[in-house]
Amino acid sequence: MQNGKFTPELIAPCGMNCGICIAFFGYTMNGKKRKHTCVTCRLRERPCAFIKKQCDKLTDRKIDYCFECMDFPCKNLEKLDRRYRTKYGMSMIENLRYIQTRGIEQFLNNEQERWKCETCSGVICVHNKTCYTCNQTVKK
């Protein structure tokens, strides 16, 4: 993220925007400060804390985005997507299809608007719908 702007590196191969993730802001799901802030999927060495099922193509960095994979959308991704749609109101598969057809730049612009805090223009976290800049919690 540069000057509060989302950059392509923030978008994980599975379609998750790491820039709206609670671990990226440095917190755990129950609101405690993490020992280590997650540096995003593309930069971290270990697998993502929120994607339990592992995929060799992702861990070996064989693909840039899941839509390049023959099995897209595989069962694991569908399961993760279902969980996120139900619990957090966002879809990795929808994100990926958008990037595939309209490109990453347009996607980033949309994300910027979608997750913008109305109060301070900071970023709203997808997991708890809170802005860590002004601590406002919103309905999304």
The footprint of ligand SF4 (CB under 6 A) covers 12, 16, 18, 21, 23-24, 38, 40-41, 44, 48-50, 55, 57-58, 63, 66, 69, 71-74, 76-77
Contact (Cβ atoms closer than 8 angstroms) between residue 38 and residue 21? yes
As measured in angstroms, the least distance from the Cβ of 30 to ligand SF4 is: 15
What token pair was written down for 116?
A: 């913008």
As measured in angstroms, the least distance from the Cβ of 125 to ligand SF4 is: 10
Taking CB within 5 to 8 Å according to partner kind, which of ligand SF4, Zn ion, none is near residue 76?
ligand SF4
Number of residues that bind Zn ion (CB under 5 A): 8
As measured in angstroms, the least distance from the Cβ of 6 to ligand SF4 is: 12
What whole-number distance in Å separates Cα of residue 57 and Cα of residue 47? 12
Q: Which is nearer to ligand SF4, 48 or 123 (CB)?
A: 48
Contact (Cβ atoms closer than 8 angstroms) between residue 123 and residue 130? no
Q: Which is nearer to ligand SF4, 49 or 104 (CB)?
A: 49
Contact (Cβ atoms closer than 8 angstroms) between residue 49 and residue 39? no
117 is a site residue for Zn ion (CB under 5 A):
yes
Which residue spans within the chain are E strands per DSSP? none
On the 0-12 / 13-18 / 19+ scale of CB atoms within 10 A, 43 is: exposed
